[in-house]
Structure 1
Amino acid sequence: MKKEELKHISTNHYRKIQKHLDRIAKEMDGEEIHQLRVEYKRLRAFFRMLSSSPRVKEEIKVSKKLKQLYSLYGTVRDLQLQQERIKEAVKKDRGRINPYLDLLQTEIGKAEPELQDILSKKPVQESKKKTNAGLPEKFLKNDFHRFVEDKWSSVYAILASGHFSDDNIHSIRKHLKDLFYNLKEYEGKEFRVLSASIWKGQDEKFIAVLLDELGAFQDRCTSISLLKAYWIKRVALPTKKLLDELKQQWIKEKTGMKRALVKKLRTAIKLV
């Protein structure tokens, strides 16, 4: 791909990010926030791939303000999803759980002033100008294959270590996501050829399902982390007891999810 094509791809991602931001400005819609973050991750993965080329002297990164925006909206989305999870898990004793739901809503509200401040500084335009200046003159198929092998080397290193911490499982997901997103930048015959060679004996459908399962595990980790001890201490005893019980249930579910994921990773991805 030549520089103009690289610029076209990044511009398209920036355009979609701005579209979602414009919609979120009217209403803090959870699905729009999710799509915004997916588009940001695709753009970030694209720049990671380009930065792996020997023709790129300095890593291409989005602007600090856009990264802050992504992080803040991530916090908001995590809190929104936690509200949904709690409502789904506690259907009968809703009155006992309302204080915690209100606490989550208060935390969402705390993010809004900083979000508005960053948005007023036009972070998308700023980031686009910054990253356009760092794009290489071209990105070759050999560069792509090198990027693919580097990502798989990182995955293999974790598998070989046998150390399946929550962070390492999340790292595997990020490496595979980078491959999954960047493969989508290619089209037609080129896409089919690359897709056949990238997944180390598996197909794209298998990887998509695996990524969904890894994502569900990460969501469970987040849901547990948001049952913070210092938050729970702020609610009445009946609510605290209910949340403690729910936390133990989710920890048990997380343990089962991790066991199944580790088995699948070890079976499906063969070390080379």
Structure 2
Amino acid sequence: MKREALEEVVNRHIGKIEKCSRQLPGSFDQEDIHDLRVNYKKVRAFLRLLQLEKGAGDLDIPAKLKSLYHHCGHVRDWQLFLDELHTVAVAAKIPACMHRLNQQLFTYKEQAVYAIEITHFKKLLHGIVKGLPRQLHDNTFNKFMQQKIAAIHILLLAADNEKDLHSIRKLIKDIIYIMRICESDWGIPFPGGEWKSEKELSDMVSELGDFNDRCLAISLLQSGYSDDCDNDEKDQLQELQSIWVQQKEKQQRQLLQLVQELHMEHAY
């Protein structure tokens, strides 16, 4: 794969990030945030691949783009969290806490807007392109996959907590994003050969994502406790937290068993 094709991938996905970021202020549409974060992760996975190529320069996600991604992530987490509070009908029972939580979401939106304003996409894109290698060889795909699979295997040897599950999810997503770049951006099959269990990996990522959202919701729920909340509201939060923790523990047990059964074969 020639350098021009590498530039096309970076240009396309940075362009999508910029487009989404320009649409965010005001509405903060959840779909725009999702698309921004997915395209960021594709760029990140792609640069991790290119770092293994001989002749690659200093390839890394620019600090301001990384900051934008994290700020938008905070907004996304709080939006999903508050949506879930409404679905379980507890929101109407905790008005003081809901006011405080909505204020926190507003603060994260303000921070995200500022992060957008100080992100100069043309400049950061130039910095990334400057470090691209002259070409990307098929054996670099193999090396990338071997490293990811080896890291997953190491985690699977003793996976026993939510941190391990989160790490496994990130490694699998890197694999999937590179495969999708090959298919969607270049219209070619993955150069490293046929992946034997792509659907299994996609399904696992989805389940791990649901688990990650549950862990985040519990963490954010704990932040709802404050002096502004009366005892009745605190009791409501504690009851909901107890339910969510039980759900999380059940999910964790199931997922720890499922990841041990993952088929990480790859036809090299």
Native 8 Å contact 1:156 1:271 kept in 2: no
What is the aligned partner in structure 1 of residue 194 from structure 2?
196
Name the aligned partner's letter for residue 218 of structure 1. N
Deviation at 1:82, TM superposition (A): 0.6
CA offsets 1:129-162 (integer angstroms, 9 cap, x no match)? 11111111111110001000000000000011x1
What is the aligned partner in structure 2 of residue 171 from structure 1?
167
Identity value in percent: 28
1:131 matched to 2:125: no
Segments ≥4 residues shifted beyond 3 Å:
187-190, 192-195, 269-272
What is the aligned partner in structure 2 of residue 232 from structure 1?
225
CA offsets 1:174-206 (integer angstroms, 9 cap, x no match)? 000000001112138841664623xxx42x222
Provide closer, same or farther for how the CA distance between residues 254 and 27 of structure 1 changes in structure 2, counting only shifts above 3 A: same
1:205 matched to 2:199: yes
Secondary structure of the structure 2 residue equivalent to 1:186: helix
Q: Quote the Cα distance in structure 2 between the aligned partners of 1:76 and 1:150.
A: 32
What is the aligned partner in structure 2 of residue 265 from structure 1?
259
Native 8 Å contact 2:155 2:164 kept in 1: yes
What is the aligned partner in structure 2 of residue 70 from structure 1?
69
Provide closer, same or farther for how the CA distance between residues 61 and 192 of structure 1 changes in structure 2, counting only shifts above 3 A: closer
Provide closer, same or farther for how the CA distance between residues 126 and 213 of structure 1 changes in structure 2, counting only shifts above 3 A: same
Give the gaps of 5 or more residues in structure 2.
none
Native 8 Å contact 2:33 2:72 kept in 1: yes
Native 8 Å contact 2:159 2:256 kept in 1: no
What is the aligned partner in structure 2 of residue 17 from structure 1?
17
Native 8 Å contact 1:33 1:73 kept in 2: yes
Name the aligned partner's letter for residue 191 of structure 1. P
Q: Quote the Cα distance in structure 1 between the aligned partners of 2:41 and 2:249.
A: 27
Secondary structure of the structure 2 residue equivalent to 1:196: coil
What is the aligned partner in structure 1 of residue 37 from structure 2?
37
What is the aligned partner in structure 1 of residue 180 from structure 2?
184
Secondary structure of the structure 1 residue equivalent to 2:194: helix
TM-score (norm 1): 0.90
Deviation at 1:270, TM superposition (A): 6.2
What is the aligned partner in structure 2 of residue 95 from structure 1?
92
Name the aligned partner's letter for residue 169 of structure 1. L
The alignment covers a number of residue pairs equal to 263
Native 8 Å contact 2:54 2:133 kept in 1: no
CA offsets 1:230-252 (integer angstroms, 9 cap, x no match)? x3133111111111111111111
Q: Quote the Cα distance in structure 1 between the aligned partners of 2:162 and 2:34.
A: 22
1:81-120 correspondence to structure 2 within 5 Å: 81-89=80-88, 91=89, 93-120=90-117
Name the aligned partner's letter for residue 147 of structure 2. D
Name the aligned partner's letter for residue 70 of structure 1. Y
Provide closer, same or farther for how the CA distance between residues 190 and 113 of structure 1 changes in structure 2, counting only shifts above 3 A: closer
Native 8 Å contact 1:155 1:175 kept in 2: yes
Native 8 Å contact 2:46 2:178 kept in 1: yes
Q: Quote the Cα distance in structure 1 between the aligned partners of 2:239 and 2:25.
A: 37
Q: Quote the Cα distance in structure 1 between the aligned partners of 2:4 and 2:141.
A: 17
Q: CA RMSD in A?
A: 2.1
CA offsets 1:106-151 (integer angstroms, 9 cap, x no match)? 1122124433333223432232111111111111110001000000
TM-score (norm 2): 0.91
Deviation at 1:95, TM superposition (A): 2.8
Native 8 Å contact 1:63 1:123 kept in 2: no
Select the residue among 243, 247, 263 that pairs with 2:241.
247
Q: Quote the Cα distance in structure 2 between the aligned partners of 1:73 and 1:158.
A: 29
Select the residue among 208, 213, 222 that pairs with 1:219.
213
